[in-house]
Chain A
Amino acid sequence: GAGVSQSPRYKVAKRGQDVALRCDPISGHVSLFWYQQALGQGPEFLTYFQNEAQLDKSGLPSDRFFAERPEGSVSTLKIQRTQQEDSAVYLCASSYGAARDNSPLHFGNGTRLTVT
């Protein structure tokens, strides 16, 4: 498909478990963002990659959250020792240019994480 693909679509984790969420951006897209959307809220920025470089991780809520994009395409968001407050939809978005270029963001359908 031509869109941003995220997997899994749903993930249930027991508190304390580690999880890994995958994002396949649109081929050739330079910029990749991760957002967290809590129930009833708008998406909140987590981190930004330009190619393989993580230029901003200021939105990551704690050191339990880690993101990587080693080859400048696929990205993984890892959450260690999950807590109930981590339950949310995690959205990945990509755009063709660098973020300053006004290229619109293309969002994936998200991964809904439920921590029990």
Chain B
Amino acid sequence: DQQVKQNSPSLSVQEGRISILNCDYTNSMFDYFLWYKKYPAEGPTFLISISSIKDKNEDGRFTVFLNKSAKHLSLHIVPSQPGDSAVYFCAATPLNAGGTSYGKLTFGQGTILTVHP
């Protein structure tokens, strides 16, 4: 079963506009969420994260929003730039669930973002 889902395989946005990437999860034990960005032939690179005690975290052009009741998070990129074109992965972990949990990440399938000049 897919515990982390990114239902949009791709997204196309004009340069300067906002990009919104969405992610849904099913496991209520997840309490820490991350976004990774991946260019072709490279490994994923960490972008931004959010703990379940917050509903928003901002870092420059990137903001992540968390809606715990809906088990939904989103990544906003404003303004979008052509260099942002990449695959974006949402990931989640039961960091503080205790027991054997320790930060193992569960990833979504990814969304291909294309930002047109």
Residues of chain A having any CB pair with chain B under 8 Å:
4, 31, 33, 35, 40-45, 48, 55-56, 91, 93, 98-102, 104-110
Contacts of A106 in B (CB 8 A): 46
Using CB atoms, name the residue of chain A closest to B87.
A42
Interface check B105, CB cutoff 8 A: yes
Q: Which residue in B44, B46, B102, B108 is a CB contact (below 8 Å) of A55?
A: B102
Contacts of B95 in A (CB 8 A): 100, 102
Asked whether, in the complex, the Cβ of B100 is within 8 Å of the Cβ of A45, the reply is no
Contacts of A55 in B (CB 8 A): 102
Contacts of B32 in A (CB 8 A): 102
Contacts of A108 in B (CB 8 A): 43
Asked whether, in the complex, the Cβ of A4 is within 8 Å of the Cβ of B43, the reply is yes
Asked whether, in the complex, the Cβ of B102 is within 8 Å of the Cβ of A42, the reply is no
| Complex-state Cα separation, A107 to B46, whole angstroms | 9
| Complex-state Cα separation, A56 to B94, whole angstroms | 15
Instruction: Pull 27 A–B residue pairs with CB atoms less than 8 Å apart, ordered by A.
Output: A33-B105, A35-B107, A41-B109, A41-B110, A42-B6, A42-B89, A42-B91, A42-B107, A42-B108, A43-B89, A43-B107, A45-B105, A45-B106, A48-B104, A55-B102, A91-B43, A99-B103, A100-B102, A100-B103, A101-B103, A102-B32, A102-B49, A104-B34, A104-B49, A105-B105, A107-B44, A110-B43
CB under 8 Å from chain A, chain B span 82-117:
89, 91, 95, 100, 102-110
Q: How far is the CB of B82 from chain A (nearest CB, A)?
A: 22
Question: Which of B36, B91, B105 has most A Cβ within 10 Å?
Answer: B105
Q: How far is the CB of B51 from chain A (nearest CB, A)?
A: 8
Using CB atoms, name the residue of chain B closest to A110.
B43
Asked whether, in the complex, the Cβ of A56 is within 8 Å of the Cβ of B103, the reply is no
